[in-house]
Structure 1
Amino acid sequence: MRNLFVSAAFVAMSLFGLSAQAAEPIEAGKQYTELSSPVPVAKPGKIEVVELFWYGCPHCYQFEPTLNPWVEKLPEDVYFHRIPAMFGGVWDVHGQLFITLDTMGVEHRVHTAVFEAIHKEGKKLATPEEMAEFLAGQGVDKDAFLKTYNSFGVKGQVALAKKLGMAYQISGVPTMVVNGKYRFDVGSAGGPQQALDVADQLIAKERAAK
């Protein structure tokens, strides 16, 4: 019984320590970087949170189970969206895949399946034809996908995503940006949950500044 009590006390102290750590104020230059030139947001009037990611990134894949429940609970004044990081090669191919799915309005339905195809099933998804074949099994029309993938509109969005990645001055993923002003990643924040704690504090900072 004594051992159970000691264990319970240890767990309680551990949880308290985690709470205290999460509540610790953040500082520019430590947990996050303040951009010298703010980047315009997609929806003025809302507090924007961007995640820059790559479907082929294992850290992005591991971040998903922590990130998604947080996104679902964001308040109405916060706008979250993903932007694919474009560093050339297959990064650009997968980025165009994401933008195509988003343009078609099916990204929310197949986003997790794409991640799992790459990281659990060993699929490369390195060509539009391979993507179309896989997505057909997810209920996405092959011809419609290929037509959209090669469309002028999608190519324009790819160019915009590249410009935004450069404006945010990212060097890796997953990286988050709050309101076009503050950039941080899972590593600099201290872990997946800590990254969301940083995001919460920066959201509160922007809300208080309105």
Structure 2
Amino acid sequence: MLRRSLFKLLIASACIAAAPLSFALDAGKDYNLLQPAQPGGTNGQIEVIEFFSYGCPHCAAFDPKLTKWRAAQGKDVVFKRVPVSFGRPEWAALGRLYLTLNAMGLSDKYDSKVFDGVHKEYLKLNDEKVRNDWLTKEGIDVKKFNDTWRSFGIETAARRADQMAETYRVQGVPMLVIDGKYVPSDSGVKGEEAGHSRVLVNSEQLVAKARAEKPKK
């Protein structure tokens, strides 16, 4: 887990993933209940939210597994990403980068490239000049991107993301929330890769549980 007060001490250790629930899962071990619960998916849909940051190395490590997991979900599962900053200007800028790409319909295509740029190429994409050079290299319209970045819509989305992180009591990332109620964890598994796999196994059961709890039409 990456906590605000311990960020510098824990940057090399695992960021959080919180906790799961389901038919065979144990509360407090495999998952936690979000308190208070938040609105989940509507019209029979199951909402899965990932709180994350492009700046978090553990979010970068989690992303390939999460991408495969997302692709295997049913049509009733709606996935959303919410960037968090924990008050760090660098992470706030990276969060705005995500929100801008998402508003342009480019986030799914470029998420992994941003993670690679930050964590493998060590690019400071929170810096405008570095970011513009990267955008040009990737063939993204720099003017359109920057116009979107500075728009009222992105400013509103950034404030909304910060508010959601507070409302959902996000203490570390990556953190998944299933249908506004269930926060899957790694059940104490040792090792980041194994922990990420366990989170997604538990998430699968939580999605099934949330589906079973939906009112029958």
Could you tell me which residue of structure 1 aligns to residue 59 of structure 2?
Answer: 60
Q: Which amino acid aligns with 1:184?
A: P
Counterpart Cα distance in 1 of 2:186 and 2:94: 21
Deviations 1:44-77 (A, max 9, x none): 5310111111111111111112111111111011
| Matched residue SS, 2:211 | helix
Identify the residue that residue 209 of structure 1 maps to in structure 2: 213
Residue 173 of structure 1 pairs with residue 173 of structure 2: yes
2:127 match: 127
**8 A Cα contact 2:53 2:59, kept in partner:** yes
* Higher radius of gyration, 1 or 2: 1
Residues 2-151 of structure 1 mapped to structure 2, 5 A cutoff: 25-41=24-40, 43-88=42-87, 89-151=89-151
Residues 151-179 of structure 1: CA distance to partner in whole angstroms, max 9, x if unpaired?
Answer: 10001011111111111111111100000
Offset at residue 120 of structure 1 (A): 0.7
Aligned mates of 1:105, 1:185 — CA distance in 2: 30
Gaps of 5+ in 1: 1-22
| Higher relative contact order, structure no. (Cα contacts within 8 Å, ≥ 6 residues apart) | 2
Look up the equivalent residue of 2:106 and give its one-letter code: V
* Secondary structure, aligned partner of 1:169: coil
Determine the C-alpha separation between the residues in 2 that align with 1:24 and 1:189: 19
**Would the aligned equivalents of 2:185 and 2:198 in 1 still touch at CA under 8 Å?**
no
1:197 to 182, 197, 201: 201
DSSP 3-state at the match of 1:51:
strand
The two structures have a TM-score, normalised by structure 2, of: 0.81
Letter in 2 for 1:25: A
Instruction: Note the aligned Cα RMSD (angstroms).
Output: 1.9
The residue type equivalent to 1:55 in the other structure is Y
TM-score normalised by L of structure 1: 0.83
Q: Secondary structure at the match of 1:160?
A: helix
CA-to-partner distance for each residue in 1:99-138, whole Å, 9 max, x for gaps?
0000011112211111101111111112233222211111
Instruction: Look up the match of 1:160.
Output: 160
Q: CA deviation at 1:27?
A: 1.6
How many angstroms apart in 2 are the aligned matches of 1:111 and 1:184? 22
Provide the rounded CA distance (Å) in 2 between the counterparts of 1:139 and 1:43.
36
Higher helix share: 1
C-alpha change, 1:41 and 1:208, in structure 2 (3 Å) is closer
1:35/1:182 contact within 8 Å kept: yes
Tell me if structure 2 keeps the 8 A contact 1:53–1:83: yes
